[in-house]
Amino acid sequence: MSAPEPTVYLVDDDASVCQSLARLMKAVGYRARAFSSSDEFLRHYRDEGPACLVLDMHLPGMTGLELQRTLTVAHRSLPIVFITGHGDVPTSVQAMKGGAVDFLPKPFLDADLLKAVGQALDRSAQQHATGLKLERVRQRLEGLTQREQQVLAGVVEGKLNKQIAAELGTTEKTVKVHRGRVMEKMEASSVAALVRDVERLRADGGAKPF
Amino acid sequence: MVTNVRLRTVDRRGQLTARLDESEQRFLRLADAAPVMVWVSGLDKGCTYFNRRWLDFTGRSLEQELGSGWSTGIHRNDFERCLEIYTQAFDARREFSMEYRLRHHSGEFRWIWDIGAPVFGPQGIFEGYVGSCVDVSERKRAEQRLRESREMVSSVVASLYGHVAVLDRTGHIIAVNDEWLRFVRDNGADEAAASVGASYLEACHKAVGLGDESAEKAVAAIEGVLNGSREHFSMDYACSSQGVDRWCEMIVNSLRRPEGGAIVSHIDITARRRAEVEAQRLQQELSHLARVSTMGELSASLAHELNQPLTAILTNAQVAQRLIAAGNPDLVELGEILADIVADDQRAGEVVHRVRSLIHKGNVETQRLDLNSVVWDVVRLVRSEALIKDVKVILELNPLPMMIRGDRIQMQQVLLNLIINGLEAINESGSGDATLVVRTKLADEQWVQVSVEDTGVGIEDSALESIFQPFHTRKTKGMGMGLSICRSIVQAHGGRIWAKRGGERGAELHVLLPVDLELRP
């Protein structure tokens, strides 16, 4: 599976700054998309593979920090590099706590920005890779029958076959058969790996395995 | 002859029961009817006769007055002097006149003017004196009043602080005070031409001839007051006295008397002028300091304002370097990059220029200004401040130019202060709807109004006036001079500034300024 071309989203109310940053991103081979406000960005953003956001802190309307919060709430894990013409410690701390990759006071050297953008895109790529893996887990999970899913739930909770059989009102032998099917369908090498995959899917929050 | 008759009467003094002949009777009738008081004395200086008027005046009988009885009626402070005059004149047989106080029958002393003359018989033989007296108390009192009033007038004129001359209706000097003369001497002017009797108007005319502009105004003013077309005039003028540049005020008032005339005074107001100039200088210094301090408060947002173009410039320049380093660069793209760099550099330069003009310590320059453009100047300066404080600034400007006369920097300072105060009040309130409105409008045909309305913490009713006092501040930093300086600037521009509570919350600051009526925009 080939990795999509990384996109750098730029949000700054200063047209001139936006334009220059877009040039820089293109010059180093990224796809650049520039917006002058948070709202405009939100209207156009689609999660289409590895991407990051270079975000000005002080924007008219929704500020940079507010956009960061909005993205977090929507479970859109787009790594952010903050840039600001007026850096103060409390805002930078808030930004970093919110998961920002970096916080650069303007004006900055291209190398510093590109380093931060590189890190942000790596993080995005990892998230995407993880996301793809989870997606596969989800698809396999959906391929299970209802009974198999019930057995899997018991396994993940660490229950014995006997307990699961008692709960489901069936025999231990039948549970064993289901369990073998689950391992096969979920392409799990071990019970531990199976449990880890399901836990990750739960932690992602986007999916409800049970 | 009356004289004979009288003297015979005198001879018979003490024998009042003696027979009086007809002419004596006639004399006595005449003497009694005379409109003056009459006395007669004999060779021994004692009085032998007083007429009815005298006796009526003193309220005493003839017997009481005869001899030296009359002396009891003379005021004791006058008696010695009168006796001296009488005795000396008597011995020399000369006429005399004197004034003394005589007790009226009411008990009051009245001033008497007494003229005595020696009487000689047909053969030139001295027979005594006859005197006639008039009550001159009224005249004395009038004289006294006049003297007092003259003394008062002259002492008032003399004590006047300025240089004062009184002119008659033809412009000739009829009185001056000491200061006036000293002033003339100190200035080395022609003393004769500025003293009593000289024509001041003529002297002024001469000065006009020498090209003295203020003399021209002075002539017009004095002539106006003298011919009654004006009551009062005053002007300030520069002059040089003993090699020192001075300021004087000339005041012309009409002299309220039937004969007309005028009072001209010159007052040295150099000290006042200097104090005014000094106060003005201090005011400018203070407002300059306040501007610098405001710029200090804005430093963070100004840094932001500068950082934007600097960021774009740096990024563009480094992109260009990358393109060149990569080899075979696109010249069109390089050209675009360079054009952007130039534009951003100009933008940064404008920020610096705006800041520098506000920090610059310049003289006040009055010129025609469009108030809307002043609003724009300031809004550009505080744009970043509003952004950082997350406040929405709304401009509702009159679509037509709002022409006033004033100093651009000072007007910017007023608006800057009002807007920054508004932003801070909003920041303090932390309310959701953070909006600041700057409005300009024509209040009427003569006034333009600029208003700054915020949604901040607002102003207590009790503070609506006191916020314009110096050192009034709510902020922990700052001098508390901002609005006080705003008010002095606005007042110096002939305008007015006031505060109001906002409609729902916040505060409104309004400034009225006179429209510049020149038609050309």
- Whether the per-residue pLDDT at B188 is higher than 80: the answer is no
| Paired sense of beta strands B435-442 and B392-396, if any | parallel
User: Which strand ranges, in their side-by-side order, compose the sheet holding A51-56?
Assistant: A31-35, A7-11, A51-56, A80-84, A102-105
Residues of B with CB under 8 A from a CB of A: 300-301, 303-305, 307-316, 318-319, 322-323, 326, 333, 337, 340, 343-344, 347, 384, 387-388, 390, 392
Q: Within an 8 Å CB–CB cutoff, is residue A89 touching chain B?
A: no
- Whether the per-residue pLDDT at B5 is higher than 60: the answer is no
Contact B311 A85 (CB under 8 A): yes
Residue with tokens 């409105």: B437
- Whether the per-residue pLDDT at B3 is higher than 50: the answer is no
Contact A85 B308 (CB under 8 A): yes
Contacts of A24 in chain B (CB under 8 A): 315, 318-319, 322
Of B415, B333, B330, B341, the C-alpha closest to B371 is: B415
- Per-residue model confidence (pLDDT) at position B2: 36
- Whether the per-residue pLDDT at B452 is higher than 90: the answer is yes
User: Residue A91 — very low, low, confident or very high, per pLDDT cuts 50/70/90?
Assistant: confident
Of B401, B489, B414, B485, the C-alpha closest to B452 is: B414
- Per-residue model confidence (pLDDT) at position A4: 60
* B160-268 has CATH 3.30.450.20 classification: yes
Higher pLDDT among residues B466 and A33, named by residue: A33
Number of H helices, E strands in chain A: 9, 5
Greatest mean pLDDT among B232-241, B268-277, B368-377 lies in B368-377
**Separation between Cα atoms, residue B370 and residue B129, nearest integer Å:** 100
Q: Please report the domains of chain A, with CATH numbers, ordered by start residue.
A: 7-133 (3.40.50.2300), 143-204 (1.10.10.10)
Question: How many inter-chain contacts (A to B, CB under 8 Å) are there?
Answer: 83
Q: Within an 8 Å CB–CB cutoff, is residue A24 touching chain B?
A: yes
Q: What is the DSSP string of B133-183?
A: EEE-HHHHHHHHHHHHHHHHHHHHHHH-SSEEEEE-TTSBEEEE-HHHHHH
Inter-residue long-range contacts of A198-207, CB under 8 Å, 24+ positions, other chains counted: A198/A137, A198/A141, A198/A152, A198/A156, A199/A156, A200/A130, A200/A134, A200/A137, A201/A134, A201/A137, A201/A138, A201/A141, A204/A131, A204/A134, A205/A75, A206/A75, A207/A134, A207/A138
Which of A58, A110, A113 lies nearest to residue B304, judging by beta carbons?
A58
Higher pLDDT among residues A55 and B270, named by residue: A55
Residues A42, A46, A47, A53: what is their CA dihedral angle, to the nearest 10 degrees? -50
- Whether the per-residue pLDDT at B432 is higher than 80: the answer is no
Contact B318 A110 (CB under 8 A): yes
Contacts of A25 in chain B (CB under 8 A): none
Give the CA distances from residue A72 to residues A60, A89, A209, in Å, rounded to whole numbers and listed in that order.
Answer: 20, 22, 22
Contact B300 A86 (CB under 8 A): yes
Which of B162-166, B242-246, B381-385 has the least mean pLDDT?
B242-246
Higher pLDDT among residues B33 and B342, named by residue: B342
pLDDT in tens, A13-60: 999 999 999 999 999 999 999 999 999 999 999 888 889 999 999 888
Q: With contact defined as beta carbons under 8 Å apart, do B215 and B201 qualify? A: no
**Separation between Cα atoms, residue B450 and residue B496, nearest integer Å:** 11
Contact A109 B314 (CB under 8 A): yes
Give the CA distances from residue B488 to residues B280, B330, B443, B481, B484, in Å, rounded to whole numbers and listed in that order.
Answer: 11, 59, 21, 11, 6
- The residues, any chain, with a CB within 8 Å of residue A117's CB and separated by 6 or more, are A8, A25, A30, A52, A54, A81
Q: For the residues A112-126, what does the mean pLDDT come to?
A: 94
Contacts of A105 in chain B (CB under 8 A): 307
Higher pLDDT among residues B282 and B313, named by residue: B313
* CATH fold of B280-514: Heat Shock Protein 90 (3.30.565)
Q: For the residues B296-302, what does the mean pLDDT come to?
A: 80
Contact B308 A24 (CB under 8 A): no
Contacts of B310 in chain A (CB under 8 A): 106-107
- Whether the per-residue pLDDT at B456 is higher than 60: the answer is yes
CATH architecture of the domain covering B2-137 = 2-Layer Sandwich (3.30)
pLDDT in tens, B34-72: 889 999 999 989 999 999 999 999 999 999 999 889 989
Contact B318 A17 (CB under 8 A): no
Which of B311, B318, B319 lies nearest to residue A106, judging by beta carbons?
B311
How far off is chain A from B352, nearest CA to CA, in Å?
16
- Per-residue model confidence (pLDDT) at position A30: 94
Contact A20 B316 (CB under 8 A): yes
- Per-residue model confidence (pLDDT) at position B121: 83
Domain locations along chain B: 2-137, 160-268, 280-514
**Separation between Cα atoms, residue B264 and residue B235, nearest integer Å:** 12
Mutual angle of helices A110-142 and A15-27, in 10-degree steps: 70
CB atoms within 10 A of CB B460: 11
Higher pLDDT among residues B59 and B292, named by residue: B59
Q: Please give the model's pTM, rounded to 2 decimal places.
A: 0.59
Greatest mean pLDDT among A187-196, B317-326, B425-434 lies in B317-326
How far off is chain A from B304, nearest CA to CA, in Å?
4
Of B415, B413, B460, the C-alpha closest to B436 is: B415
Quick check: do B2-137 and B160-268 share a fold?
A: yes
**Separation between Cα atoms, residue B130 and residue B202, nearest integer Å:** 58
- Whether the per-residue pLDDT at B21 is higher than 70: the answer is no
In our burial notation (b when 16+ CB lie closer than 10 A, e otherwise), range B342-352 reads: eebeebbeebe
